Amino acid sequence: MQSTREMENEIIKVSRSATLPNMNDLHGKRIVLGLTGGIACYKAAELCRSLVKVGAKVQVVMTESAAQFITPVTMQALSGQPVFTSQWDAREGNNMAHINLSRDADAILIAPASADFMAKLIHGKADELLSLMCLARPIQTVPLIVAPAMNREMWAHPATQRNVAQLKADGAHVLNVGQGDQACGETGDGRMLEAEEIVDELLSFWTPKVLQGQHVLITAGPTYEAIDPVRGITNLSSGKMGFAIAKAAYHAGAKVSLIAGPVSLSTPRGIQRVDVLSAMQMRDAVHLAVQSATIFISAAAVADWRPDHAANYKIKKDGSGDTPELSFVENPDILAAVARSTRAQSGELFCVGFAAESHDLLAQATAKRVRKDVPLLVGNIGPSTFGQDDNALLLVDAEGAKEMPRDTKTHLAQDLVKEIASRIGKNHSRN
């Protein structure tokens, strides 16, 4: 059994490690990237590059019309694989590229998928390599993922919407479209999602839905306590860990509500976000949102104190050398209040707390878990993680402590979600 000091030294040692594991959820996935005719083919280049960057093996298949917008040479350079454009390609020994390519794939991703190509798919037409391959794929083992791209009127047309509904009924996974300016000069729905958004959708697609049916409420980032209109008290929390947990919970099938302090982070897709500034505002937002939540994760670094009075005007120095007198009052303990609520005590709401410490991590986290009355407390060394893209965590519950070695916050968030899901499963089995 490690002592407190040994545990702390190990966490700090791992936290300072400069080498992170070369891992990714899409690493090793074999993806056939199909391009159909449309100006959104230019986005397919960045998508291909992004997929390769995260470790996927990408095999590009293009229709003849797609080659009018982007060349096979470009896609070959980005994918590192020869591009297929014809069902009569003699490079395959049996001249059956539609069979061989589909059997080797973990998924077929059509991006962009034109209105015409989606119409072909629902009717089982197969007059060129890509549609032939979609028809010939083993339906049970090779999913078809479709990223539509077209003019807003084409997207809104009843025929297109019927085709989308039929594709979904046939088992295809049809992504949403983006909204904004279009190449034709119009504005509206129909744009293909950006590369980063499609990669995120693929991550979600392959994530086990261990939180299906759960409503997760997460707080993230710092709070800001005003001294006067231009000054205040805050901390170095970036909110990255909380936002990563929000995304991981959404990928795991949960409905996710995110209450964020002042951070410069974009809202993850599919997540409802409320922005607050102070601890009191965060408390009020949590009080409203937690009523419908089944899991509460308090990842925010909430200020312990606030000035008892914020000046209406900027406090100025007058050259006398005198300093202003500031007095403070303690902020409410949001986590403890939620954890002691009737819903939490009855097991209807599962609470997870965070502890950002500077020393004695095991001892501090263990004491905080008991003091806050939460089933799971996640500890970390604040100075070594604030603002960083990586972290090392210590999970503390009634049975002891478990280390989560330094990794990206994305991967740690995914692992933490699995830990939470397993504990909820145990709680349900006992009830």
- Residues annotated as catalytic are 184
Residues linked to residue 379 through DSSP beta bridges, in sequence order: 355, 394
Angle at the Cα of 377 (from 371 to 382), degrees rounded to 5?
Answer: 100
Say how far apart CA 23 and CA 97 lie, in whole Å.
31
Strands, E assignment, 305-366: 305-307, 328-330, 350-357
91 to 65, 82, 108, 232: CA distances (angstroms): 21, 10, 20, 67
DSSP state of 222: B
Closest CA to 189 of 145, 153, 218: 153
3-state secondary structure at position 166: helix
Do 263 and 238 form a contact (C-beta atoms < 8 A)? Answer: yes
Contacts of 213 (CB under 8 A, 6+ apart): 253, 254
